[in-house]
Amino acid sequence: MTGTGSKALLPQRKRRRRSGWRGLVYIAPAMALVILFFIMPVIFTGWMSLHNWPLMGGTRWIGLKNYVRMFHDARFLSALQFTAYYTVIATVAIFAVAFPLAIFVEKQRRFVSAYRTIIFLPVVVGLATASLLWVWLANVDSGFIGPALKALGLADKSPNLLATFDGAFLTIVIMVVWKIAGFTMIILLTGLQAIPSELTEAARIDGAGRWQRFRHLTLPLMRKTIALALIISVTGSILAFDQFYIMTSGGPQNRMISVVYYIFNQSFVSFNLGYGAALSIALLAILVAISIVQLWLLRAGEERP
Amino acid sequence: MIKRLLAATSIATLCLVSGASAAEKVEMWVRTGVGDAFKKTVEAYNSSHENQVAMTEVPFSELVQKYATAIAGGQAPDALSMDLIYNPAFAAAGQLEDLTDWAKSLPYFNSLSPSHVKLGTYQDRIYGLPLSVETSVFAWNKDLYKKAGLDPEKAPASWDEITANAEKIRALGDDTYGFYFSGGGCGGCMIFTFTPLVWGSGTDILSADGKTATLDTPEMRKAVDIYRNMVKKDLVPAGAASDNGANFLSFTNGKIGQQSLGAFAIGSLVTEHPDIHFGVTLIPGATGGTSSFAGGDNFVITKGTPKMDAVKEFLEYIYSEDGQKIMAKYGSLPTRGDIAGKVLEGLDPRLQVGIQAISVAKTPYTLQFNDLINSANGPWATFTNAAILGEDVDGAFSNAQSEMQSIIDSGQ
């Protein structure tokens, strides 16, 4: 940067353009990664979705037929329905567990970091590993839950949890809560800790009760954090695949086929990569729409309520 | 001292490296659940030949999509032990090496298992040759028969008899069961062990031309009833309802009285579980007759592999008398008819039942086998679970019938 002093006379605009270029250079690596690993694959997927594209053999342009097909595809519609059902139940369950946990570990008390660590531990286990672990736990003969129920006298016979829809669904939801709640808890914890203690004290002096402080102080101030946790949780649930594939291979009588599972089946079991690509684009659109709606509902962009 | 040791090891390593580079290393995939026949043959080949075969076991339910994906990604192995029912689809897609001229030059070509060669042939060119043959048979545990007061040498001839025997075996105690099947949506297991019930009675789940689903027949209703009845009477372990094939060989734990299984399993039982005394017979039909599923694998070579000669050498070893003997010892029935007698000589007599089964056995021929039958989420797998273990039998029949038909129609 020699001669900066003389350049001070240059018009403002030119200077701004120069720093604009410098900014571009700084973000170029990130942009390159995003273009290479997100934008290009999406464009290519979109291109594939307009073809009859078998896994082996030649491809054929069919226009929008793949998209038309999905509206009449009963199996896709039931996969959507199941995914929505799972997303609602799993998200509510995760928040119902994670919020109290976050409030519990937020206060300074004895062993609080040990609690945080223990609750967070399942998060670092891979989802596939966790699923396999729970397949074993739920095994009717050599597992833990069924035989334990029998040993405690709560059931006459060790129940086969994964054989019925309700049993398998309950097992999977509990597994997911066990695995994910710690992560949601950490996100909510950062939000809780960001609330200045003066505000809470002021509210207390004004005579606000526990519930009032939570409802009118904590919740509004955590709006952004909750939005983040909610979007992560909802997106994760909509994209659920591992647990259904590993724990129930689609569930008793195929009643646990999530949308991603159906895309996988179309692409790699039936070898219709083109239709799978069209379904992926549809799922992407659904996810973007849901995220926008959530952000709007929680108005995460606004500074203060 | 350390220096000398280092020098010695590096020389040894160098020798190993140069030794390996002179010989070819053939990458080969094989599906799980087919017993040890192929594994043992590979071991025998590797210890007696300069060329080596590196075998990778792939879960049977994923082999097809893994192989197809690997081909698309240019990462396919040189050769593959492919479930023969998939052979036409892969040959039609132009992904396999044409073996016609070489195969026809083999002196024993005409005595190779004809149904395998037929499935390996596409438009008069040969893309797959028989590797292993197996048929489904009915097995019973002689020790449990004895304990239950049954004649251990008398093979049950009908499902009424099997059910009655199962009840007596179940009465032995807590974790002893009369019958087993993988009912948790394992299409492959059930087509192998359950369809013989309807085939034996003279009907089929697909029409002869493969264009109509004919699932809902009185014979199939009867077959479903037989299994449902045994489940209802608690003669089948609860784990069967969610077994997607991982525990197909539950018979080997010695606590299952009766089960339909394959000839591969006879080999595994004889060699690995010598303490289990069992008999085998043909699977009775639901309303009389007997039948079996003739399955097994074809040996296919990925198009464009540079190791063609090494692969051929390995396959010729498999077809040699030594190779056939090892395969047969571990339960793969001989693929070469001309030396079958010699190969089976001195081996377990129960394998003869597997050979007998060939004469009554069927193999479905359809390009959509994966979609219709084998896929864990396909109509057949769903049907077997819903009809036998679910609440709504009629619903299971009508759903599966219409879904199978729609898959067939969309593939036309």
Band (pLDDT 50/70/90 cuts) for residue B190 is very high
Question: How many CB contacts within 8 angstroms connect chain A with chain B?
Answer: 80
- How close is the nearest chain A Cα to the Cα of B242, in Å? 5
pLDDT at A18: 73
Q: Which residues pair with A114 in a beta bridge?
A: none
Rg (CA), chain A: 25
**Which chain B residues have any C-beta within 8 angstroms of a chain A C-beta?**
65, 68-69, 71-72, 90, 93-95, 175, 184-185, 237-239, 241-242, 244, 370-371, 375-377, 382, 385-386, 389-390, 396
Q: Is A147 on the interface with B (CB under 8 A)?
A: no
Q: Is A128 on the interface with B (CB under 8 A)?
A: no
Q: How many CB atoms lie within 10 A of CB B269?
A: 24
For residue B127, pLDDT beyond 90: yes
Count how many Cα atoms sit within 13 Å of the Cα of residue A88 in the half-sphere of its side chain: 5
Q: Which residues in chain B are closer than 8 Å to A54, comparing Cβ atoms?
A: 93
Residue B127 and residue B91 in contact, taking contact as beta carbons nearer than 8 Å: yes
Six token digits for residue A193? 């800790």
CA distances to A16, B26, B79 from B306, in Å: 60, 10, 11
Rounded distance between C-alpha atoms, residue A180 and residue A276, angstroms:
28
With CB atoms and an 8 Å threshold, state whether B242 touches A140: yes
First to last CA, chain B: 74
pLDDT at A15: 64
Rounded distance between C-alpha atoms, residue B404 and residue B364, angstroms:
14
Residue B28 and residue B81 in contact, taking contact as beta carbons nearer than 8 Å: yes
How do residues B56-91 score in pLDDT, each as one tens digit? 988 877 788 888 888 888 888 999 998 888 888 888
Q: Which residues pair with B129 in a beta bridge?
A: B299
Q: Which residues in chain B are closer than 8 Å to A268, comparing Cβ atoms?
A: 65, 68-69
Rounded distance between C-alpha atoms, residue B69 and residue A222, angstroms:
46
Strands B25-31 and B52-58: parallel
How do residues B356-380 score in pLDDT, each as one tens digit? 887 788 887 777 888 888 888 889 9
Higher pLDDT: B96 or A7? It is B96
pLDDT at A4: 46
- How close is the nearest chain B Cα to the Cα of A116, in Å? 36
- How close is the nearest chain B Cα to the Cα of A181, in Å? 28
Q: Which residues in chain A are closer than 8 Å to B396, comparing Cβ atoms?
A: 253
- Angular region, B203: left φ>0, alpha ψ -120 to 50, beta rest: beta
Strands B25-31 and B79-83: parallel
ipTM reported for the complex surpasses 0.90: no
Q: Which of B71, B242, B371 sits opposite A270 (nearest CB)?
A: B371
Which residue out of A82, A253, A258 would a mutagenesis test of the B interface target, given it has the greatest number of B Cβ atoms within 10 Å?
A: A253
With CB atoms and an 8 Å threshold, state whether B241 touches A163: yes
With CB atoms and an 8 Å threshold, state whether A253 touches B382: yes
pLDDT at B19: 44
pLDDT at A40: 94
Rg (CA), chain B: 23
CA distances to A2, A78, B239, B245 from B389, in Å: 83, 22, 12, 16
Domains and CATH numbers, chain B: 24-134+295-362 (3.40.190.10), 136-292+365-410 (3.40.190.10)
For residue B304, pLDDT beyond 90: no
Q: How many CB atoms lie within 10 A of CB B340?
A: 18
Buried b (16+ CB within 10 A) or exposed e, A54-87: bbbeeeeebeeebeebbeebebbeebbebbeebb
Strands B283-284 and B278-281: unpaired
Rounded distance between C-alpha atoms, residue B54 and residue B73, angstroms:
20
Q: Is A141 on the interface with B (CB under 8 A)?
A: yes
Band (pLDDT 50/70/90 cuts) for residue B226 is very high
Q: How many CB atoms lie within 10 A of CB A258?
A: 24
- How close is the nearest chain A Cα to the Cα of B387, in Å? 10
Q: How many CB atoms lie within 10 A of CB B151?
A: 10
What stretches in chain A show pLDDT beneath 70? 1-16, 300-305
CA torsion through residues A153, A155, A160, A166, sign: negative
With CB atoms and an 8 Å threshold, state whether A57 touches B94: yes
Six token digits for residue A7? 């350049």
Residue B105 and residue B54 in contact, taking contact as beta carbons nearer than 8 Å: no
Higher pLDDT: B282 or A3? It is B282
Q: Which of B72, B238, B375 sits opposite A269 (nearest CB)?
A: B375
With CB atoms and an 8 Å threshold, state whether A140 touches B94: no
Among chain B residues, CA nearest to A257: B377
Rounded distance between C-alpha atoms, residue B368 and residue B411, angstroms:
8
- How close is the nearest chain A Cα to the Cα of B181, in Å? 14
Average of per-residue pLDDT across B244-270: 87
With CB atoms and an 8 Å threshold, state whether A253 touches B390: yes
- How close is the nearest chain A Cα to the Cα of B156, in Å? 28
Higher pLDDT: A96 or B12? It is A96
For residue B14, pLDDT beyond 70: no
Q: How many helices (H) and strands (E) does chain A have?
A: 16, 2
Higher pLDDT: B22 or A258? It is A258
Higher pLDDT: B2 or A83? It is A83
Residue B60 and residue B355 in contact, taking contact as beta carbons nearer than 8 Å: no
Q: Which of A139, A162, A254 sits opposite B382 (nearest CB)?
A: A254
The residue type found at A151 is A
The 8-class DSSP code of residue B83 comes to: E
For B380, residues 6+ apart whose C-beta sits below 8 A from its C-beta are: B187, B190, B191, B205, B372, B373, B374, B400, B404
Six token digits for residue A106? 């937020």
- Chain A (153-182) residues lying within 8 Å, Cβ to Cβ, of chain B: 157-160, 162-163, 168
Domains and CATH numbers, chain A: 12-48 (no CATH), 73-298 (1.10.3720.10)
Q: Which of A141, A252, A270 sits opposite B239 (nearest CB)?
A: A141
Lowest model confidence (mean pLDDT) among A177-186, B2-11, B324-333, B379-388? B2-11
First to last CA, chain A: 45
